Amino acid sequence: MATTSAGASETPKSASAPRSASSAAREVVFSVRHLWKVFGPKADRIPEDTSVAGLSAQELREKTGCTAAVRDVSFDVHKGEVFVVMGLSGSGKSTLVRCLTRLIEPTSGGLEMDGEDVRAMDRSSLRELRRRRASMVFQHFGLLPHRTVVDNVAYGLEIQGVSKAERRERATEMVEKVGLAGLEKRRPGQLSGGQQQRVGLARALAVDPEVLLFDEPFSALDPLIRRDMQEEVVRLHREEGRTMVFITHDLAEALRVGDRIALMRDGEIVQLGTPEEIVGSPADDYVRDFVRDVPREQVLTVRRAMRPAEDGESDQGPALTPDTLISDAIEAVARCGGAARVVDEGRCLGIVDHACLLNVVARVDHRPEEVAA
């Protein structure tokens, strides 16, 4: 267990380690504890009222007229990771991300950023937080239609009171960084959706925030463009290592960009873990249903598929690292025609052969353990 997240429903999983968050004690950026956001009359009473706090969404609405968009959510976002919150529409994920900078005021619970209590902040320190520490990219871009691209990108700096020359310079730099050089003088209305979202991304980056918050940033884009933008985000993250909180309803997108994924349903986190944990060991039927169509060979690693080495096998065949994806292992096995070794720091951990790999693809691996979880 490498992560120490406090997610209530996080499944303990020992078979696999998180993909990139390998160090145990990482700096925590956002720390969320028992956060609630309830809409409706007398909303602030709901979280404390034990008689209704446990009701289902439907029952809660019938009984109190309130909707709990976020209910009793706890998690940590670590420095430098891409933390994905995924769920269907209405699951409360967009509300949750807005609660992080109090664009929506949480009803109750604890919320800290770098150890500072965000909920206790007054207006000016909250404004400072929004100006310099956390900026957001929106699904529908939220660009100012009457400003040019470069002025849109510079807008955050303008709000901060940065001089015109300086903000122009930084904005131009950002426009180039997101690949829009040459379009500085256009208006948002003259750009395609993908280009507009690049402007939104540049605007968020221009203020050099500690955390980037993405609210379903690519949902409104065409599939091909979406793919481009996802790669752009992955690239940016690789280059800068900026912490990101990424909201999406698209599982493929979550698996592609996320280091860890929190899966939400009806305002609650159903499972929190690495993509491999979510796909390999779904916490319940809901999650299992959710990940059913995921091509497992592209998410799971050989660590899951391997079997103990039998005599003489541990020094034969191609060597794979434990983090190798099943799909890559299939290729290696197919090429050599026999079994492959899983080697970590010179030690043979196990063997993958045709049967092991096929089992994973066919979902007949690790059955007992899943049921136990």
Partner 1 sequence: MSMFTAPPIAAALKVDAKPRPVQQLLNRRGLAKLLLLAVAAAVLVPLLHAKYGAAWPSSLTVDVSGPLGRTSDWIIDNRDSHWLFTYFLGHLSNAVVLSVRGVYLLLLALGWTGVTAGVTLLAWRVAGVRIAATALISFLVSGLLGMWVPTMQTLALMVVAVVASVVVGALLGLAAGLSGRLFKLLRPVLDTMQVLPAFAYLLPVVLVFGIGVPAALLATVIYAAPPMARLTALGLRGADAGVLEAVSSLGATGRQRLLTARLPLARKELLLGVNQSIMMALSMVVIASMIGAAGLGDRVYQALASVDVGAALAAAIPIVLLAIVMDRTTAAAGERLGAEPDTSGPKLLRGRLVWAGIGVLTAVLALVGRLTGSLVWPTGWVVAIARPVNDFKEWMVGHLYSGVPVIGGTADWAAHFTNWVLNPLRDGLTALPWYGTLLIVAALAWLIGTWRTALTAVLAMAAIGVLGVWKPSMNTLSQVIAALVVTLVLGFGIGVLAAGSKRFEAILRPVLDVMQTMPQFVYLIPVVALFAVGRAPAAAAAVVYALPAVIRITTQGLRQVDAAAMESARSLGATRWQTLRQVQLPLARPALLLAVNQGVVLVLAVVIIGGLVGGGALGYDVVTGLATGDLALGLVAGVAIVCLGLMLDRVTQPTERRTTGKGA
Residue 158 binds partner 1 (CB under 8 A): yes
Using the rule CB under 8 A, give the single segment among 133-141, 172-180, 290-298, 343-351 that binds partner 1. 133-141
Among 142, 179, 193, 322, binds partner 1 (CB under 8 A): 142
Q: Which two tokens stand for residue 276?
A: 């491999």
Q: How far is the CB of 316 from partner 1 (least distance, A)?
A: 52
Residue 143 binds partner 1 (CB under 8 A): yes
Chain centroid to CA 15: 22
Among 109, 156, 273, 282, binds partner 1 (CB under 8 A): 156
Alpha carbon distance 87, 226 (integer Å): 18
In degrees and rounded to multiples of 5, residue 231 shows phi and psi of -65, -35
Cβ closer to partner 1: 89 or 192? 89
3-state secondary structure (DSSP) of residue 270: strand
Q: Interface residues for partner 1 in 69-98 (CB under 8 A)? A: 69, 87-95
Residue 5 binds partner 1 (CB under 8 A): no
Strands of the chain (E only): list them: 28-39, 67-78, 82-86, 108-113, 116-117, 134-137, 211-215, 243-248, 260-265, 268-273, 319-320, 340-344, 347-352
Cβ closer to partner 1: 147 or 227? 147
Among 249, 256, 341, 366, binds partner 1 (CB under 8 A): 249
Continuous segment of H or E residues that includes residue 137: strand 134-137
Q: Are 91 and 264 in contact (CB under 8 A)?
A: yes
Q: Interface residues for partner 1 in 205-234 (CB under 8 A)? A: 207, 215-216
Alpha carbon distance 172, 170 (integer Å): 5
Q: Interface residues for partner 1 in 162-191 (CB under 8 A)? A: 187, 189-190
Nearest Cα neighbor of 192 from 154, 153, 218 is 218
Binding site for partner 1 (CB under 8 A): 39, 65, 67, 69, 87-95, 101, 103, 127-132, 135-136, 138-146, 155-156, 158-160, 187, 189-190, 200, 203, 207, 215-216, 249
